[in-house]
A and B are shown apart, each in its own frame.
Chain A
Amino acid sequence: DGGITQSPKYLFRKEGQNVTLSCEQNLNHDAMYWYRQDPGQGLRLIYYSQIVNDFQKGDIAEGYSVSREKKESFPLTVTSAQKNPTAFYLCATLPGPLFGGPLHFGNGTRLTVT
């Protein structure tokens, strides 16, 4: 089955540690996105990538980093510089043609930092 896999579903880290969230897709979609969800805040865009080896900052990129070395993969690193990293993180993809298409979402990773 084609889909978006985010792993792990739950992740726990100590404050001050970097952590990498995985997002893999076998939909052959060109564009990939990372969103952060907090209660009552909706979804906010962290980073996105429209093609391999290229990515752009979203609205809340500070404290995060990404890479896009393969079309299928778009890992997100939450660095120790992120002041409030505890959140639900969602990865999404967009098929071509890019205009007007809906985002497809993975099932998310819940990160808890203590």
Chain B
Amino acid sequence: AQSVTQLGSHVSVSEGALVLLRCNYSSSVPPYLFWYVQYPNQGLQLLLKYTSAATLVKGINGFEAEFKKSETSFHLTKPSAHMSDAAEYFCAVSNSGGGADGLTFGKGTHLIIQP
């Protein structure tokens, strides 16, 4: 079975500082990996996805993530945090059907931006 571990339920950074949100996954098949963002009382919005092309994936709002097979990691980064980045972030891996049978999500990381 697939699983996702997000280290740190809360991460706090200063505005303008580097954002690093960690994600490790376990998958029995070559994975498809995703990062989503959620604002309060809303659905999830896709930030970026990895689907076996380039290992460094660029997404929206200046975020990017690097797929490292040897470390089974897919960490999310942004060089300079903005106040609008404050939200909940979820890492997800495709289930065994390549995603057709859904995604398995991590428990989320709440990103706090300090002025």
A interface residues, Cβ below 8 angstroms from B: 4, 6, 9, 31, 33, 35, 40-45, 48, 50, 56, 58, 88, 90, 92, 94, 98-108, 110
CB distance from A51 to the nearest CB of B (A): 11
B interface residues, Cβ below 8 angstroms from A: 4, 9, 32, 34, 36, 41-46, 49, 51-52, 90, 92, 94, 97-108
Contact A107 B42 (CB under 8 A): yes
Interface of A is mostly: strand
Interface of B is mostly: loop
Residue from B32, B51, B94, B100 within 8 A of A31 (CB atoms): B100
Residue from B4, B103, B107 within 8 A of A103 (CB atoms): B103
Given A94-B99, A98-B98, A40 contacting B41 (CB threshold 8 A): no
Given A42-B90, A102-B34, A90 contacting B98 (CB threshold 8 A): no
Given A102-B34, A107-B43, A110-B41, A42 contacting B98 (CB threshold 8 A): no
A83 to B57, CA, bound (A): 41
Residue from A45, A88, A98, A102 within 8 A of B100 (CB atoms): A98
